[in-house]
Structure 1
Amino acid sequence: MKAVSLREIRQELNTLSSSEIQELCLKLSRFKKENKELLTYLLFESQDEEGYIDSIKIHMDAQFETINTNSYFYIRKSMRKILRETKKFIRYSKKKETEAELLLYFCTKLKDFKPSIKRSAQLQNMYNRQILLVKKIITTFHEDLQYDYQLILENLEA
């Protein structure tokens, strides 16, 4: 089965009633966890972006606590998982401020992690890539926001 274009989907949705659209959304949420998470964000958390960011930070903290520190292999694997989930949450929001905030928080947690990431080239590269990504995102912000995020970035790089 070939998927139709977004334009065609939009036209078809315009012909449906409100209850039919609601039923389609519920069916969509049954198939994948990501669909359900996206609907949860759109319905309940998109109005309070700060609360959404705080809940993700709490989730990240919990994941950092459960990392197996017996070897750098397990640490790298866990860090990649945390970063993958964080980027998934960022995709739901589609706001650059949220992306910068969460990536800076991830980098802060990564830098303060014990054992130090300096002993692993892969973890150091992961950290450096995220710092470069944050720098790129910050350049698109208003000057006042740029200054605030630049201060946080300088503290991380020090």
Structure 2
Amino acid sequence: MKAATVTQLKKELQHRNPEELLALCLRLSKFKKENKELLTYLLFEADHEEGYIETVKSEIDELFTEINTNSYFYIKKSVRKILRNLKKYIRYSGNKETEVVLLLHFCERLKDFKPSIQRNTTLINLYNRQLDFIEKKIGLLHEDLQYDYGLLLEELKL
């Protein structure tokens, strides 16, 4: 089965009544955890972006404390998992400023992580890629925000 385009879906949804739309949304939320998480964000947290950012930051902090530090293999695996979850939360928000704030927080935690990421090339490369990505995203923000986040970014550069 080939999936319909977003335009086709939009046209079809315009012809449905509210009860049918509600049933479709609920059915969609049952199939994938990500669909349910996105629906939760849109219904409960989209109006409170600051609270959402703080929630995600606390989850990142918790995940960093749970990392198995016995070897760099486990550290790399865990850091990639944290970054994957973070990107998912950023995608839910779609807000450029939220994206920059969360990625900066991730990089701060990674820089301060013990044992140091300086001893592992893969982690250093991951860290530098994120800094480059943040730098590009900062350029898309308002000038005042560019300056503020630019200062934070400079502090993070190794």
Q: TM-score per shorter chain, which class?
A: over 0.9
**What does residue range 5-154 of structure 1 map to in structure 2 within 5 Å?**
5-154=5-154
| Structure 1 position 52, deviation (Å) | 0.5
Query: What residue in structure 2 maps to residue 155 of structure 1?
Result: 155
Q: Distance in 2 between matches of 1:77 and 1:25?
A: 34
**CA distance, structure 1, for counterparts of residue 66 and residue 53 of structure 2:** 20
Render the CA deviation track for 1:5-45: whole Å, top value 9, x for unaligned: 21111111111111110110000000000000000011110
- Whole-Å Cα distance in 2 between the matches of residues 6 and 132 of structure 1? 31
Q: Which amino acid aligns with 1:98?
A: T
Give the residue type in structure 2 aligned to 1:53: I
Q: Percent identity?
A: 59
Q: Which moved more, 1:138-147 or 1:31-40?
A: 138-147
Paired residue secondary structure (1:70) = coil
**AA paired with 1:138?**
I
Runs of 4+ in 1 over 2 A off after TM superposition: none
After TM superposition, the score normalised by the length of structure 1 is 0.98
Shift of the alpha carbon at 1:120? 0.3
Instruction: Report the number of matched residues.
Output: 158
Secondary structure at the residue paired with 1:53? helix
Root-mean-square deviation (CA), in Å? 0.8
Structure 2 Cα separation of the partners of residues 95 and 74 of structure 1: 31
How many Å separate the matches in 2 of 1:103 and 1:2? 35
In the alignment, structure 2 segments of 5+ residues that lack a partner are none
